């Protein structure tokens, strides 16, 4: 569940002196940003990809990954070790965080690590998701100091109904890198307040979608198991045929995106109508928003 990427040592000192951060961080005002922890829920990979670029913009010595996407993270109780910085990322589903993502994030117990918040939406609207992530991160013990909303290809996007296809673009990733650099400079200035971010309390209701799931076109399926390993809720089982538990499916479409043989489809009529509407009304590419 955790991975490690080594980065070249940075010569820029960073001071971490703020109320609410861990004692280990406050104790060394001249410490570099040595370790950045990426904590993500990212079924289709776009949130994780953008979070990676933000982390690289910090130019820390190493990046630790805590991937909450797959079922192995569903029952974990996690106490984070002392790190200099955390980046917490999740997708937006209907203007809110995914219920399953919230449940997994709530298992984390932190002690004041400064955190950058990231939500990724499919070019429709952020609505209350970023504010919800701020409150969630704070309740887990993090100290949010910056936030961003980026755009990724919508889960319901297809060749027939393109919705933010191929996002994030290269320009999006460049902006994510620069955002990480700017937040690093903010920390060097010992500025740790989070600016006002969009959203409303109470949060909007979760979108009401049909209880359905993707299905497999058996004639196209090679039983490569890519759909099974991609599913964040273990909703897919492979026996003589591919079976999908509709009660577990969160309609993230990771199985569809990962299938190289186009053997997974989402045929539900209501979902098709939603995709067609979004494809027609959300064509103008929106720009990322950053708050620091």
Over residues 233-239, the mean pLDDT reads 95
Tell me which of 8-12, 36-40, 180-184 is least confident: 8-12
pLDDT over 70, % of the chain: 87
Helix residue ranges, H only, the chain:
23-27, 46-58, 99-105, 129-139, 170-188, 226-230, 254-258, 269-281
Say whether 168 sits in a helix, a strand or coil.
Answer: coil
- Looking from the CA of 156 toward its CB, the CA atoms found within 13 Å total 27
* DSSP H or E segment with residue 144: strand 143-151
- Position 19 pLDDT exceeds 50: no
Burial class (CB in 10 A: 0-12, 13-18, 19+), 101: buried
* Domain parsing of the chain, residue ranges: 2-202+286-291, 215-267
**Dist. CA 252–CA 277, nearest whole Å:** 18
Total residues found in the chain within this entry: 292
The pLDDT value given to residue 76 = 62
What confidence tier does 13 reach under pLDDT thresholds 50, 70, 90? very low
**Dist. CA 203–CA 200, nearest whole Å:** 6
Quote the mean pLDDT of the chain.
89
Q: How far is CA 52 from CA 69, 97, 98, 128, 182, in A?
A: 15, 20, 20, 23, 15
- Position 12 pLDDT exceeds 50: no
What confidence tier does 1 reach under pLDDT thresholds 50, 70, 90? very low
What is the maximum alpha-carbon separation in the chain? 62
Return the CATH number of the domain spanning residue range 2-202+286-291: 3.40.50.360
- Position 251 pLDDT exceeds 80: yes
207-228 pLDDT tens trace: 999 999 999 999 999 999 999 9
The pLDDT value given to residue 72 = 85
**Dist. CA 154–CA 146, nearest whole Å:** 24
The pLDDT value given to residue 240 = 86
- Give φ, ψ of 14 to 5 degrees: -130, 130
The pLDDT value given to residue 33 = 83
Please check whether residue 92 is in contact with residue 60, taking contact to mean a CB–CB distance below 8 angstroms: no
pLDDT over 90, % of the chain: 81
- Position 25 pLDDT exceeds 90: no
Please check whether residue 95 is in contact with residue 204, taking contact to mean a CB–CB distance below 8 angstroms: yes
The distance of Cα 17 from the centroid of its chain, to the nearest Å, equals 28
Return the CATH number of the domain spanning residue range 215-267: 3.30.70.20
Residues 6+ apart with CB under 8 A from 152: 44, 46, 47, 49, 50, 91, 120, 121, 122, 164, 167, 168
Burial class (CB in 10 A: 0-12, 13-18, 19+), 107: middle
- What secondary structure, in 3-state letters, does 29-72 show? CCCCCCEEEEEECCCCCHHHHHHHHHHHHHCCCEEEEEECCCHH
Tell me which of 14-23, 111-120, 186-195 is least confident: 14-23
The pLDDT value given to residue 28 = 36
What confidence tier does 73 reach under pLDDT thresholds 50, 70, 90? confident
Residues 6+ apart with CB under 8 A from 230: 43, 254, 255, 257, 258
pTM (two decimals) = 0.87
What confidence tier does 285 reach under pLDDT thresholds 50, 70, 90? very high
The pLDDT value given to residue 18 = 39
Please check whether residue 132 is in contact with residue 199, taking contact to mean a CB–CB distance below 8 angstroms: yes
């Amino acid at each position: 569940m955790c991975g490690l990427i080594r980065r070249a040592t940075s010569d820029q000192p960073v001071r971490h002196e703020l109320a609410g951060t861990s004692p280990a961080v406050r104790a060394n005002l001249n410490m570099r940003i040595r370790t950045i922890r990426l904590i993500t829920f990212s079924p289709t990979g776009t949130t994780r990809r953008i979070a990676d670029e933000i982390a690289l913009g910090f130019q820390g010595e190493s990046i630790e990954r805590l991937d909450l996407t797959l079922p192995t993270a569903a029952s974990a109780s996690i106490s984070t070790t002392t790190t200099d910085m955390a980046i917490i990322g999740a997708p937006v589903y209907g203007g809110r965080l995914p219920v399953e993502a919230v449940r997994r994030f709530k298992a984390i117990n932190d002690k004041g690590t400064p955190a950058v918040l990231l939500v990724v939406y499919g070019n429709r609207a952020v609505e209350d998701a970023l504010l919800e992530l701020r409150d969630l991160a704070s309740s887990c013990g993090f100290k949010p100091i910056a936030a961003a909303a980026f755009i990724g290809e919508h889960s319901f996007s297809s060749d027939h109904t393109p919705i933010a296809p191929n996002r994030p673009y290269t320009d999006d990733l460049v902006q994510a890198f620069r955002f990480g650099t700017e937040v690093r400079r903010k920390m060097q200035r010992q500025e740790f307040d989070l600016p006002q971010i969009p959203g409303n309390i109470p949060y909007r209701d979760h979108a009401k979608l049909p209880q359905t799931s993707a299905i497999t076109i058996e004639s196209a399926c090679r039983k490569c198991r890519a759909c099974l390993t991609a599913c964040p809720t273990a909703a897919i089982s492979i026996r003589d045929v591919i079976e999908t538990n509709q009660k577990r499916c969160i309609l993230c479409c990771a199985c569809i995106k990962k299938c190289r043989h186009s053997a997974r489809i989402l045929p539900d009529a209501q979902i098709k109508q939603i995709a067609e509407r979004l494809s027609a009304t959300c064509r103008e590419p929106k720009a990322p928003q950053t708050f620091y």
